[in-house]
Every structure is written in structure tokens, then in C-alpha cells.
A and B are shown apart, each in its own frame.
Chain A
Amino acid sequence: MSKMLLAEFAHAHRLREAAQAASRRGYKLLDAFTPFPVEGVADVLVARPSKIRVFMFAGGILIAAMAYGGEYYTAVINYPYNIGGRPPNSWPAFMLVPFATGIFGATVAGFIRFLFETGLPRLHFPLFAVDGVERASQDRFFLALEAPEAEGERRGAMDSLRGDGALSVREVDS
């Protein structure tokens, strides 16, 4: 099983600086676990750009098109009737339903994509077994690095993390 180094910080800015420094030194950053989004950390982690907005757009357009299609079919094709001479396809009046349902469609599509990209729900995760990691949702900031194979290099990495202000650096199973 591969090992990783888990460094614990008390402040968001310390985590950010340590992540940037570690990446400069050429260590492989695996992830960070924080109680709120820390600006600048995700950029260092080389996360793939999220496609969530594309999915939301597509989901919204799809549902909106279905809604308008439904209106068109029922009011123009299946059962057209004349009310005060208004055209069967009264598109300005038909806009609200596709608009509202389209936004709902985008929301649902985004949520499905959110679950897909995050891999949630995943109720158990190996990291949860590590003592003290429950504070990642409360008041501590964790940085996970891939542990270098060589003993000396590993020690060097741990020392530099401590130098960057880590309260503790541990070697844990990843």
C-alpha cells in the first residue's frame, strides 16, 4: 500500500503557503482537507477543470426544450383552439414554463454531475481512520503529499513541511 504524508495546519494561509512551497520543491501533492474552501490550494493541486457548468447548461436546455415541445404539441398539434384570435403557438406566453423548469433541470443536472465528479456519496474513506482527521471539517487544515520512496527524501519532505508551519506531519496509508 502506498504511503502519504499528512501535514496538519492551524491556519488557512499556512496551508496555502505550504502547498505552494511543496509544489515548488517538486513534491507530488495529493489533496488537501479543509473546513472551508481555501483560495489558491485547488489551483496548486492541478485539478482537472470541472465540467459541471457544461452539464448544467445542457440539462437546462434539454428540460426547457422538452417543456416548450410539450406546450407546442398540446397547444398546436394535439388540441389547437382559438382564444380571442391568439395564435396557437403563442410563444411569448409559452416562455415562462420552459424558463422555470429549465432552471430546475440545470440544477438537477448539476447535482448529478457534482456527485459524479466528487465520487460522493462515499460514506467511508480510508482517511477517516486516521486519528484527528475529523478536525478537517472543524478547525484544522490538512495537506496530503505522496511520500517519497527514499527514506532521506521522506525525512526532508517532513522537515520542510514542519518548517512551513505544520503542527504535525504523519505518514499514513493512502
Chain B
Amino acid sequence: MSAVAIDDAAPARRFTLPSGRSYEKVDELVTAPLLEREAWSWRVWWIAFAASSALTVIFLVCIFMLFTKGIGIWGLNTSVVWGFDIADYVWWIGIGNAGTLISSMLLLMRQRWRASINRFAEAMTLFAAAIAGLFPIIHLGRSLYFYWLTPYPNTMTVWPQWRSALIWDFWAILSYLLFSLLFWYIGLIPDFATVRDRARNPRQRVIYGALALGWRGSARHWRVYQIYHVALACLGVPLVVSLHSVVGLDFAASLMPGWSEPIFPPYFVVGAMYSGFAMVVCLAALVRWGFRLQPVITAEHFDVMAKVMLAASIIMGLSYLTEWFNAWYAGEHAERSLIRFEFTGAYAPLFFAMLFCNVLAPQAFWIGAVRRSIAAVFGIAIIINIGMWLERILIIWNTLSHGYTPSMWRLYIPTIWDWLTTFGSLGFFVFLFLIFVRLIPTVSMHEVRDLVAEEIES
């Protein structure tokens, strides 16, 4: 009984500030950067754009070097045949999972606060998944033959090997990318209509009007739209789970110590959600600050996202413990030796840094004041992103550096090209994201209006 009394007494949670709690205010906040460009100072945007363009050029140079010289420019050797390429791939695809999770899973769970963040989270997903898709191609060595992944009649009369996790990856990423693109666009249609109706410049009106497909907000259309949107969300959740499970299977389907573990698919999915949320938090803080969206992206949002990250960090910790326990309990020499190597070998400092970033640092989210401090949540989210990247590189390095045959034990020494490719891909992501915020409504206006309506009426 007392629990009920507490619930009644607790004030309803609000995810918008009073200053943003009107439809007109929401529209104005979101469309102003698109329609009243002159009224905005774009200096920070231009600086970021110049920096990310430079990194994008570096990324292209890296790929050019790779194509002309081969994968020998990376720190790969005969034992550690995967390196930054695959770690970057897993990291990016993990980030690419969160947008769909936020849009789909939170939609199905009726978490209304997602309205403020789902649009740029979906954009993040799209760009991250597209960048992730590049890495398996460039890691092939003979990238020019990547189209052999597709089934097409050829003079060799052979077909793709359907039992291979690499083929699964190809189809899963391709389906996921196209799905995300359509899901994103569907959500944008009503918002393009709003931009069309607010635009005074005829050219903008035509472009946004065409993108809106002539949407007029008809109640009949809304009904079809909603049914379609929820059905897509129902499909999106299993798709996103399968996508990252397949990434886990890339490792788990092998016979290497530390990889051949049934826990990998679910553990990878949680890791993806974890790093994806961390990236969404970073972008939310930046978008909120850059476009003065404080009235619709509030400390409450950071509070709930911090809770999600806290839960994920605990699951990650449990997954690590399970791995160690299984290695010990199964008693296989190679597995036990690998765990010993993780804690005491050459990569041990990175391993402890990873444990700190992924398991220890997020425990600060138990404290309410930390969850409500945007700076603190932002800082910890950056730490989690670094930690998750370390996790991916260590999964690869530890196992490949310390396999079954001691005579094959080698370390991976990253080269300048490894680093430039990694940071170049990050720059390319920022480059795409900056273009997105300048051309497309960064917040889903119709969903925030719905949220506002609910908060006004409550």
C-alpha cells in the first residue's frame, strides 16, 4: 500500500521544460537552424566541418594507400591477422545499433522521452552502419573482389558459401542499412511537411515539399503511418539483435580460445546497445548545446539514458565474469592461459583500462546527482566509448596473440595507418553528421509535439 502512496505523491516526470512546452516553440526550435540560417552563428559548425573534412580526406588517403600497397601497411602479422580494421568494424556497427534500439524498442515499450532524441540517434545509426560496412570490405586485402560476396552467375560457376559468417554479415548489414534508411525517412515525412509549411524561401519549400511527398497530416494517413511505424519497430528489434549476433558469431563460430563461446552473440548485442547509448548521449549533449534545444532535451533525458548505461555496464561486467569463470571451470589449458595472458600479458594495462571504462566508471551513475549532470554523463559516455573500443581490439589481440600454438604467439604493433584509418573514420562520421544537422530536422517534431500535448494535459 505504501508503494502506491509514494507513486501518487511523486510528481509526474516531465521531459520538456516549460519554455518548450508549446507546439510553436518546438517547431521554432527545430526548424530555425534550417530556415533562418542567417540568424545563426555557424562558426563552431564551420570549424568542426573543416576539421572533419580534413579527417575525411585522411580517411580517403588511408584507403588509397591500402588499395595501392595492401594490408601490410597495418600492423598485421601472420598470427594477428585481424587488427584495427575489425575492431573498428565491430565498434561502428555497435554504435549503429543504438538508433534502431532507441527508435524501436523504446517505441514498443512506450518510453515517450525517446521523441527528443530518436531522430539524430537514427541518423547516427545510418552513418555508423554505413561506415562499419566499409571495414569488412577494406580488410579483405583484395578488396576489388568484394562483390564475390553476392550471388551472381559467373564464369567460375561458384556461389557464395552460405555457411560462412562473412556472408551473413554482408546480408545482415545490407538489410539493416536499407531498413534503417527507410525507417528514418518514414519518421521524417511529417517533419519535412512542417519545414515546407514554415519555409518562406520558394526553393526550400519545393525541396522540403517534395521530400514530404505532399503530407497533409490527414487523420487517415496518420493511422496508416502509425500502424506501419509500429510494425517496422516490431521488425527492427529482431533485426538489430540478429545483426550484432552475427557479428558475435564472426568470432564465436571459430575455434580459437576466448572466441568460441556461446555467450558471444547476446554479449555483443548488449555491448552494442551500451556503446550506442554512450554515443547517443555524446551527440545529444552536443546537439542540445549547438542548437539551443535545452527546452526539449533535458537533464531528465540524460538521467534515463544514464540508467540504461548503468544497467548495460553491469551486464557487461557479468559477461566478463562469465567468460573468466567458464575458462577456469572448463579447465582447458589454452583458455586458462589466455585469461592469464589478459591479466598479466603485454596488453594487460589496456585490459585494466577497459575494465575501468566499461565496468567501474559507469557505477558513478548510481548517484542521482551524477546522472543529472550533463557534463558528468557526457564525460562518462566518452569513457564508455573508449572502453568499448578497447574491448573490441582486445578481443582480437588477446586471442590472436595467444592462440593454441606458443610458437605462433606474436604481438600487434599498430602503425600510423592503423591510427589514421580509425580517426579518419571518426572524422568521416562527424562530417556526415554535420551535414545532417544542417539540412534535416534534428529532432522529431511531430513526436515531440505529441509529448508536449501529453505534458500540457497531464
B227, A52: Cβ atoms closer than 8 Å: yes
B159, A35: Cβ atoms closer than 8 Å: no
Number of interface residues of B (CB under 8 A): 62
B214, A121: Cβ atoms closer than 8 Å: yes
Give min CB distance, B109 to chain A, whole Å. 18
Task: For A31, give its contact among B22, B163, B219 (CB under 8 Å).
Answer: B219
Interface size class of A (residues with CB under 8 A): 35 or more
B171, A101: Cβ atoms closer than 8 Å: yes
Give min CB distance, B445 to chain A, whole Å. 8
Task: For B453, give its contact among A36, A107, A121 (CB under 8 Å).
Answer: A36
Give min CB distance, B405 to chain A, whole Å. 21
A74, B179: Cβ atoms closer than 8 Å: no
In residues 79-112 of chain A, which contact B (Cβ within 8 Å)?
Answer: 79, 83, 86, 90, 93-94, 96-97, 99-101, 103-104, 106-108, 110-111
Cβ proximity bits A18-34 to B, threshold 8 Å, 1 near / 0 not: 00000000000001111
- Collect the chain B residues with CB atoms within 8 Å of residue A138's CB: 23-24, 27, 194, 197-198
Knowing A86-B163, A100-B176, say if A123 contacts B214 (CB, 8 Å): yes
Q: Is A71 an interface residue (CB 8 A)?
A: yes
Contact residues of B: prevailing secondary structure: helix
B224, A100: Cβ atoms closer than 8 Å: no
Knowing A50-B224, A120-B215, say if A107 contacts B183 (CB, 8 Å): yes
Quick check: which of A1-9, A129-137, A153-161, A163-171 contacts chain B, the rest being far away? A129-137
- Collect the chain A residues with CB atoms within 8 Å of residue B384's CB: none
Quick check: which of B50-58, B125-133, B228-236, B355-363 contacts chain A, the rest being far away? B228-236
Q: In the complex, A117→B178 CA distance in Å?
A: 22
Give min CB distance, A124 to chain B, whole Å. 7
Knowing A74-B151, A124-B214, A137-B215, say if A34 contacts B162 (CB, 8 Å): no
Q: List 28 A-B contacts (CB under 8 A).
A: A12-B453, A33-B216, A33-B217, A34-B222, A35-B23, A35-B449, A36-B446, A47-B223, A56-B235, A79-B159, A90-B163, A96-B171, A96-B242, A100-B171, A100-B242, A107-B183, A111-B186, A114-B225, A114-B228, A121-B214, A123-B209, A125-B216, A136-B197, A136-B216, A137-B197, A137-B217, A138-B198, A139-B22
Q: Which residues of A come within 8 Å of B, CB atoms?
A: 11-13, 31-38, 41-42, 45, 47, 50, 52-53, 56, 60, 67, 70-71, 74-75, 78-79, 83, 86, 90, 93-94, 96-97, 99-101, 103-104, 106-108, 110-111, 113-115, 117-118, 120-125, 127-128, 134-139
